[in-house]
Amino acid sequence: MDIFTQFGRFVLMLKGMFSKPENGKMYWKEFMHQCSEIGIGALGIVVIISIFMGAVSTLQTAYQLVSPLLPLSTIALIVRDTVILEFAPTLVCLVLAGVVGSKIAGELGNMRVSEQIDALEIMGINTKTYLILPKILASLVVIPMLVVISAVLGIWGGRLAGVMSGILSATTFDKGLVQGFQPYNVFFALTKAYTFGFIISSIPAYYGYYVKGGSLEIGRASTKSVVVSCVMILFSDYILAQLLLGGSPSA
């Protein structure tokens, strides 16, 4: 199947999601369930990655800042902007593409192969609305939250590493943290988080929903969905950077 056919089918899948729910209460329950699955399920790995990501950023920035003319608070400034602009949204979402994406593709793929999706269709339920829409909406709600948590923890991890290794004091780090802060960077990070949240949920849902065959194909679909999601995240990361930062004075 060529890329245009795949894309067309993907768009039709998204279009098919929008129909009147058979029972709003059940859909809300499924949405909350997905929020919990995606949010709580991925929180542990996000916490670990974020703290170490911030800590390593501090150590490596300090290692590279050899000029005595630059104040030590610059380390905090660089760590803050790197974490907010790139590490928290992109790195965390790349990991989430693996954690959440493979789960979504595997779950839907298994439901397709074991005829559970057919069973729902026979009952008169729009399976795209019931199975895919709550996952995408939950991702759009939860993934930006995870990105915000990641940014906070990343900066905190950086501060902790800086203080513990004696590179800079907590006061110096805090001073650098507020220097030249641009709220626009947070807007940019959240725009990326929403975009990546959509990619992380919709692409694996597509590969899982349309899987054909058996357990081997579910595994293949899951792997393919993660690879495609990661590529799409990196591609859209570049596009968003170009669109939202390309013309700004600080760029």
Residues near other proteins (CB under 8 A) are 19, 22-23, 26, 110, 114-116, 118-119, 121-125
If the CB atoms of residues 115 and 174 are measured against other proteins, the closer one turns out to be 115
Q: Are 208 and 106 a contacting pair, CB within 8 Å? A: yes
- What does the block give as tokens for 32? 């909350």
The least distance separating other proteins from the CB of residue 215, rounded to whole angstroms, comes to 13
If the CB atoms of residues 114 and 182 are measured against other proteins, the closer one turns out to be 114
If the CB atoms of residues 122 and 251 are measured against other proteins, the closer one turns out to be 122
If the CB atoms of residues 107 and 237 are measured against other proteins, the closer one turns out to be 107
List phi, psi (to 5°) of 139.
-65, -40
- Which H or E run includes 62? helix 41-64
The least distance separating other proteins from the CB of residue 23, rounded to whole angstroms, comes to 5
Could you give the CA distance from residue 211 to residue 176 in angstroms, rounded to a whole number? 51
The least distance separating other proteins from the CB of residue 161, rounded to whole angstroms, comes to 41
Residue tagged 């907010």 (tokens)? 84
If the CB atoms of residues 116 and 223 are measured against other proteins, the closer one turns out to be 116
Which amino acid belongs to residue 104?
Answer: I
The least distance separating other proteins from the CB of residue 54, rounded to whole angstroms, comes to 36
The least distance separating other proteins from the CB of residue 20, rounded to whole angstroms, comes to 9
- What does the block give as tokens for 212? 């054909």
If the CB atoms of residues 61 and 222 are measured against other proteins, the closer one turns out to be 222
Tell whether the torsion through CA atoms of 33, 100, 196 and 136 is positive or negative. Answer: negative
Which amino acid belongs to residue 229?
Answer: S
In sequence order, what DSSP letters do the residues of 146-168 get, joined into one string? Answer: HHHHHHHHHHHHHHHHHHHTTSS
Could you give the CA distance from residue 81 to residue 179 in angstroms, rounded to a whole number? 11
The least distance separating other proteins from the CB of residue 219, rounded to whole angstroms, comes to 17
Could you give the CA distance from residue 133 to residue 16 in angstroms, rounded to a whole number? 10
